[in-house]
Structure formats: C-alpha cells, structure tokens
C-alpha cells in the first residue's frame, strides 16, 4: 500500500497527492491538491505535518501557484510571473508561522525563481520554463530528504540484529518526511535487509503519535509492531522483550544532549537501568551548535486540554492544574550513539559531533532546519 | 464537601449512601441505597470500587437485605431470619466474583448472624436485634478500615516536610476505602498536620485512575495537585519538583517486592535515578507471606481495547497488536520503606516484615484480604 505522505503525481501538468494525516489511523484518505489554496489549507490544518514533509509540500505548492497564474489567453510577462511567484511564497509562508523548515524550502524556491529570471536567453524565460525550473527544485528538495532518510536507515539497520526487539517513542516516521522517516527509517531499512524486528511503540501521551502514526506506519509496511502505554516500557524492558531503543530528535546540542518528545528522557533512564543501548536517529540538520548543552534548550509548555480532554471526552476534574511540557532533554551520557545521514556518531562527544558536521562531502543539503515539528 | 465513598446515614432505619464513582470526575452524584438490590447493582457496575470500599458496602447491604425480609404483618421466625441472612450473603457474593475482600466481609456478617442465633434469651433473638447486631458488625468493619487508613496516614505524614513536592501513581485513595485511602492517606494526614504538599499525580494509563480519581480526591480536599501524563514523571523529577514518591500496593511478597498498577516499577526506577525516596503505603493485609519474592506474582493481562479505544474514540489502527499488563512488580531494592498501619518498615527486609506482621497488638482485623482491587 502507498504510504508516502507527500507525492507529486505526473509531470509539469501533474498535481500533489498528500495523505490526510488527520484521518489516521482509522482511515487512509489521499488529498489531491490541484491548486495552491488546497496545499495551504492542508498545511494549516495539519493534514500534512512533520518539518520535512511540510517543506516538501510547500515547495510543490509554489509550483501549483505559479502554474495557476500563467493561465489565460495572453502569456504573462516576466515581471508578472515573478510577482506571482513572490505572492505564492508569501501566501504559503503564513500557513504555519512557526515551521522553520517551511521557510527554508520556500527560500530555495525563491532562489530557483531568481535563476530563471536571470537567464540570458528570452526563450529560457517562458512561463513553462519557470514551472519546469520550480518543479525541478521541489523534486530536488524531496529527493534530498528521501536520500537522507534512507542513509539514516542504512546506518541504523546495521546496529540491529535479525529477530531483535526494539522500542521507540513518539513518531519519527515516514509520514513526517519524504519517505522512511528517521527512527522508523532504521526499522524499515532493517526489514528491507531481511531482518525481522519486533517493535514496541509507546503510545506517547498526550497526543498519541505512537498509537496514531507509528503503529499505523509500521503495520502498513508489515513490520511486527506492538502498541503499549508509556507506563509499560519499563516492564517490557524487564521482561527482555526489547534490547535496543531508537528515537528521533527535535534538536541536538553541541555536546549531544538531545531534545525530543516528552517521555524520551524517561525511556532513556529506563534503558540505562536495564543495560539497553539507547540510539538517537536524526539528520545532521537537527544539530544546533549554538547550544553548548541541553541546558540551553527551552521547554515549550502546552495546553492543559491535551491532558484533561485527550480522547474526545473529559477525563480529569474541572479546573485541575496540569503540567504539560512538550519536550524533554536526554543527557548525552544516556545516549549510546547518534545515527545521522553521514554515519553513526559513537561515542557521542563534542569532538565527534563537530567532526561529523564539518565533513565537506555533505553539507548545505538541509541547511539550518532546526525544526521542532519532526516528531510531533 | 463530603467525599466519603461509603457512608451509613441514620440508625437502624437508615440507609447506605455511596458516591457513584462511574460519574467522576465530572459529576459528584450520591447513590442512596435503601434495598439490597441497589447495593448489588452498585458493586456489579463498579459504582463502588476498591477492595475495602466494596467489603464495607456489602456489609451494609446485608443489613438492608435482612431488614427488608422482616417487613410484614407477622414477625418472622428465627429460622426464616437466618434464611434471609444467608440469602442476602449468597446474593451479594455474586456481585463481583473476584473480589476477595467482598467474601471476607460477608463471612464476618455471617459470623455476626450466628452470634445472634446462638443467644440464650429469646428476647435477644428478635428481628430488630438481628439487624442491630448486623449493623454493629458492618460499622465495626467500616471503623477498622478507617482507623487503619488514618494510622497509615499518620505514620507516612511524619516522613514528609511542609512545602515538599511528592509524586503518586494510580489511585490508592479514600474512594477505595472507608476514608483517606493508603498512599493518599499520607497526603491527607500531612495536610491535617498543617503541612502543605505539592502533589503530582500520574494520569495512569490505560484506565486513568490518576486523572479521574486521584486528582479529583486531592482537589476536593484542598490538596495542591497537578496532573501529568505518565511520560512526564522523569522530567518532573529532574526539575526538582518532587522529592518523594508514595504509591499504594496490590500485593507485597515476604521479601518486600511489591505488585502495584502498571507503571509503578518504572516510577521507582526513575526515582532511584534521581536519588528520590520511593515509599509504598499499604495495610499489613496486603502482605502475602506465601510468596517468597515478587517472581511468584502472576501479571494479569488485560484487553487491548483499554489502550486502542481509551476514552470514547479509537486512537490506534484496526487490529494492531497490544501488550497490556495490568500490574508490575517493584523489586524491594528500589523501596525505601513500607508504611503500614503498624508503623514504617525501614529498611525493608524479610526479617523486618516478619516482625511487623507478628506484632500481636494488631492482627486479625483485616485478615487475609489480598485483593488486587485496592488501587484499580
């Protein structure tokens, strides 16, 4: 079954197909976007979520916006086309104001438009050529993300054995990315390599990304997955059902301290208590070297209703005080290795991290996307 | 506000008042039971829950059953009264077939009936005298449980300081007992002693007893309580918000290993990792000396739907595998002390436990109730 969250169908006259993630896990509904307004609404309503997936969808959305502007009896001027491009970018930038990766993708599209405008030959400046150039750039963004996920998967899969039990928390999966995800990429790549894993997925309160998304993605791809409540992870470890933990990351400091969905730190402590290796899988773009350690990472507080009205019904007394941190920070001492698209960082030290990020054979690809959306 | 889960209102012509726990936490509804059938239905439908509370309600239910049988123009014979008593006991015994404490309470009521039947003077054998004797016994059961809870509270409160933050898991509260509960008794007694505590209550997936019951009880009694998801306990500890954990117990082995609601073991590991003392509060009746260690305690598996369809809505994919253990076992090495009605067992060793249970100044009061219902 097709579980690709973002896909361009056809050529220059094609359209964008998204999985409507708000309908999961009970229904798999595809959203066919043939105009920029539908893409805008899909991003705004979280039908597409996860930093990389949002960036990719927005890039294709720009193509649809500019293609829509060229309709008409007379071909528009270069100036009019540039205006329509800027308008499309500005419009999509307001769809999800806090998504850093969205802006990064839109800037790349703006750059592609400038390349087109800077062509010397006027036959290179037709409306059709602009849409072709924009689609080429969107596809490049898409393909780079896919390649990154697959590289993480390959490196991570080598750490796991056939028949092994592993535990994950939240959703660092393919729905949030071009394909494959980060933590889940490791499981998919292991499966592709013929290794049968037994994955235990924490449901991940309050927003249940583990139950709604991770369990769904793994099941769709035929990975053996068992859903548990977050409070059961310790028992699952004690019974020897899992011998590794793999999670994603939202932000990683220069020393390796890792911010991720609330509950990750607890899972890391439980893993340490049971002698189980704890792995973080994340692209190099997740590192924020401006932060010396996790101490500097602010913890977002979220609405009480996520806890008190979590399942469509009020489950706590009126007006009860609630503490609802969205993230926690796992100290580097609890992290066995960080799996990124350039390889496995082990042991996790500031020097190893710096050396990995300086590796000139990569770089620039996902420049600067320090987004907190990846695993939400 | 009256938050007593079980209460006899009035004298021999009085009735039983229960809090309908199925309506919590959004509504506080009292159920006035004037006949045995209403008590039966309340136990069967979990309107009254928790081993001690069920036992107390059933004892009062026997009084209502026998009192109903004596109505009529002619006073019934001793034989007819004894039959009506046996009938009431047999009837209530089927209300919740697995509740050990229910049978224990009903046996005490049977014994009280035999005492009445064995009286030498026939004026001691009137129907009125039987109901008086039964009500006396039910009140004794009730009062013994109340005294036990208050003793646990007093001993536990002495371990906590004014202004301290404490964390609890599940509901070992007053709703399950005559009054006060076990773990929550410690918080109530501290408050009565003028100590202001800041209690963090784990919501306790899958059945949310922490959100529905613990948060409600603490709030009703004016204790400062903050609700968190189970996955947030580690972060709350790390931020220094709590410096003690107090939980209840379902069963304690001879060496101190403690079975309690799933998630307790994880909380104990997290407390150990943060250097926070972990206390178990439970009556001596919770000990099962036939079990040398926690290894012998079977872990009940419960229905997948508790996780996949938590609260009125499906939150996981169709047919996903689920692992749903109801309990876990916290090894004694993680337990700083066990607070019971005879004092504080610290350090927790087989010898200290044996000595406490042999203490002849108590004993017999709650003989043998090794019920798993207390904290459910």
Interface with B, mutate which of A170, A220, A315 (most B CBs under 10 A): A315
pLDDT at B228: 98
Nearest residue, CB atoms, B226 vs list A202, A299, A321: A321
CATH topology for the B153-359 domain: Rossmann fold (3.40.50)
Chain B residues within an 8 Å CB radius of A300: none
Helices B100-117 and B51-69 pack at an angle, to 10 degrees, of 40
Closest to A26 measured CA to CA, from A215, A184, A261:
A215
Helices B36-44 and B51-69 pack at an angle, to 10 degrees, of 160
pLDDT at A313: 86
Chain A residues within an 8 Å CB radius of B269: 234, 269-270, 273
**CB of A338 closer than 8 Å to CB of A348:** yes
The pLDDT tens digits of the residues spanning A317-331 come to: 999 999 999 999 999
Nearest residue, CB atoms, B227 vs list A270, A299, A320: A320
Does the distance separating the beta carbons of B320 and A227 come in below 8 Å? yes
Using pLDDT thresholds of 50, 70 and 90, give the confidence band for residue A3: confident
Nearest residue, CB atoms, A205 vs list B26, B226, B229: B229
B124-131 contacts at long range (C-beta below 8 A, 24 or more positions apart): B125/B78, B126/B75, B127/B66, B127/B70, B127/B75, B127/B76, B127/B81, B128/B12, B128/B70, B130/B66, B130/B70, B130/B81, B130/B85, B131/B12, B131/B63, B131/B66, B131/B67, B131/B70
The pLDDT tens digits of the residues spanning A138-170 come to: 999 999 999 999 999 999 999 999 999 999 999
Using pLDDT thresholds of 50, 70 and 90, give the confidence band for residue A365: very low
Does the distance separating the beta carbons of A310 and B262 come in below 8 Å? no
Chain B residues within an 8 Å CB radius of A216: 316-317, 320
Active-site residue identified among A145, A202, A250, A371: A250
pLDDT at B98: 67
Nearest residue, CB atoms, A316 vs list B206, B215, B230: B215
CATH code assigned to A6-150: 1.20.120.420
Interface with A, mutate which of B316, B319, B325 (most A CBs under 10 A): B316
The pLDDT tens digits of the residues spanning A58-99 come to: 999 999 999 988 766 777 888 899 999 999 999 999 998 767
> What is the mean predicted confidence (pLDDT) over B211-216?
96
Chain B residues within an 8 Å CB radius of A321: 224-227
**Gap from B303 CA to chain A (nearest CA, Å):** 12
Nearest residue, CB atoms, A269 vs list B212, B273, B319: B273
CA B268 to CA B168: how far, in whole Å? Answer: 11
Domain limits, CATH 3.40.50.10470, in chain A: 153-359
> What is the mean predicted confidence (pLDDT) over A184-197?
97
Interface with A, mutate which of B262, B307, B317, B375 (most A CBs under 10 A): B317
- Indicate the average pLDDT of chain A: 91
Q: Which two tokens stand for residue B30?
A: 């009292």
Helices A51-69 and A100-117 pack at an angle, to 10 degrees, of 40
Does the distance separating the beta carbons of B318 and A234 come in below 8 Å? no
> What is the mean predicted confidence (pLDDT) over B314-338?
96
In sequence order, what DSSP letters do the residues of A147-181 get, joined into one string?
HHHHHHHHHHHTT--TT-EEEE-S--SGGGSSSS-
pLDDT at B96: 85
Predicted interface score ipTM higher than 0.85? yes
**Gap from B219 CA to chain A (nearest CA, Å):** 7
Chain A residues within an 8 Å CB radius of B270: 266, 269-270
B-chain residue closest to A199, CA distance: B321
The pLDDT tens digits of the residues spanning B100-151 come to: 789 999 999 999 999 998 887 777 788 899 999 999 999 999 999 999 999 9
Q: Which two tokens stand for residue A267?
A: 């899972």
Chain B residues within an 8 Å CB radius of A235: 262, 265-266, 299, 325, 328
pLDDT at A371: 37
Interface with B, mutate which of A229, A241, A275, A297 (most B CBs under 10 A): A229
Q: Which two tokens stand for residue B330?
A: 């916290």
Chain B residues within an 8 Å CB radius of A238: 265, 328
CA B63 to CA B311: how far, in whole Å? Answer: 37
A-chain residue closest to B232, CA distance: A263
**Gap from A118 CA to chain B (nearest CA, Å):** 50
pLDDT value at B65 more than 70: yes
**Gap from A219 CA to chain B (nearest CA, Å):** 7
The pLDDT tens digits of the residues spanning B79-91 come to: 899 999 999 999 9
Domain limits, CATH 1.20.120.420, in chain A: 6-150
Does the distance separating the beta carbons of B226 and A323 come in below 8 Å? yes
pLDDT value at B366 more than 50: no
pLDDT at A98: 67
> What is the mean predicted confidence (pLDDT) over B96-102?
77
> What is the mean predicted confidence (pLDDT) over B272-293?
95
- pTM of the predicted model, to two decimals? 0.89
Does the distance separating the beta carbons of A316 and B235 come in below 8 Å? no
Q: Which two tokens stand for residue A240?
A: 């020897």
CA B59 to CA B64: how far, in whole Å? Answer: 9
pLDDT value at B376 more than 70: no
pLDDT value at A290 more than 70: yes
> What is the mean predicted confidence (pLDDT) over B195-217?
96
Percent of chain B with pLDDT over 90: 79
Q: Residue B128 carries which DSSP code? A: H
Chain B residues within an 8 Å CB radius of A328: 234-235, 238
Q: Which two tokens stand for residue A340?
A: 């990124």
B-chain residue closest to A230, CA distance: B231
End-to-end CA distance of chain A: 23
The pLDDT tens digits of the residues spanning A116-129 come to: 988 877 777 888 99
> What is the mean predicted confidence (pLDDT) over B311-335?
93
Q: List residues of B with catalytic annotation.
A: 250
Nearest residue, CB atoms, A229 vs list B232, B307, B321: B307
**CB of B12 closer than 8 Å to CB of B128:** yes
């Amino acid at each position: 079954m097709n579980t690709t969250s973002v896909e361009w169908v056809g050529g220059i006259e094609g359209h964008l197909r998204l999985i409507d993630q708000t309908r999961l896990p009970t229904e798999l509904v595809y959203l066919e976007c043939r105009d920029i307004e539908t893409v805008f609404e899909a991003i705004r309503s979280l039908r597409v979520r996860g930093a990389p997936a949002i960036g990719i969808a927005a890039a294709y959305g720009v193509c649809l916006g500019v293609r829509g502007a060229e309709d008409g009896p007379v071909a528009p001027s270069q100036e009019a086309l540039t205006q329509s491009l800027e308008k499309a970018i500005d419009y999509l930038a307001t769809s999800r104001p806090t998504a850093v990766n969205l802006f990064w993708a839109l800037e790349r599209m703006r750059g592609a438009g400038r390349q087109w405008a800077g062509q010397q030959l006027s036959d290179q400046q037709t409306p059709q050529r602009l849409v072709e150039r924009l689609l080429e750039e969107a596809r490049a963004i898409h393909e780079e993300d896919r390649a990154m996920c697959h590289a993480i998967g390959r490196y991570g899969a080598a750490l796991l054995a056939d028949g092994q039990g592993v535990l994950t928390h939240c959703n660092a999966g393919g729905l949030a990315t071009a394909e494959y995800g980060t933590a889940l990429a490791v499981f998919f790549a292991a499966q592709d390599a013929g290794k049968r894993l037994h994955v235990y997925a924490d449901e991940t309160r309050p927003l249940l990304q583990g139950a709604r998304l991770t369990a769904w993605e793994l099941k769709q791809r035929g990975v053996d997955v068992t859903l548990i409540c977050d409070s059961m992870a310790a028992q699952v470890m004690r019974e020897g059902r899992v011998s590794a933990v793999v999670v994603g990351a939202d932000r990683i400091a220069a020393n390796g301290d890792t911010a991720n969905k609330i509950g990750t730190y607890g899972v890391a402590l439980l893993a340490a208590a049971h002698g189980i290796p704890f792995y973080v899988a994340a692209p190099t773009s997740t590192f924020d070297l401006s932060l010396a350690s996790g101490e500097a990472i602010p913890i977002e507080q979220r609405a009480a209703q996520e806890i008190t009205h979590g399942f469509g019904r009020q489950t706590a007394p009126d007006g009860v005080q609630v503490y609802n941190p969205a993230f926690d920070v796992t100290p580097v001492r609890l992290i066995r290795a960080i799996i990124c698209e350039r390889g496995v960082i082990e042991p996790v030290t500031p020097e190893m991290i710096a050396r990995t990020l300086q590796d000139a054979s990569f770089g620039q690809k996902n420049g600067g996307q320090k987004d907190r959306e990846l695993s939400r």
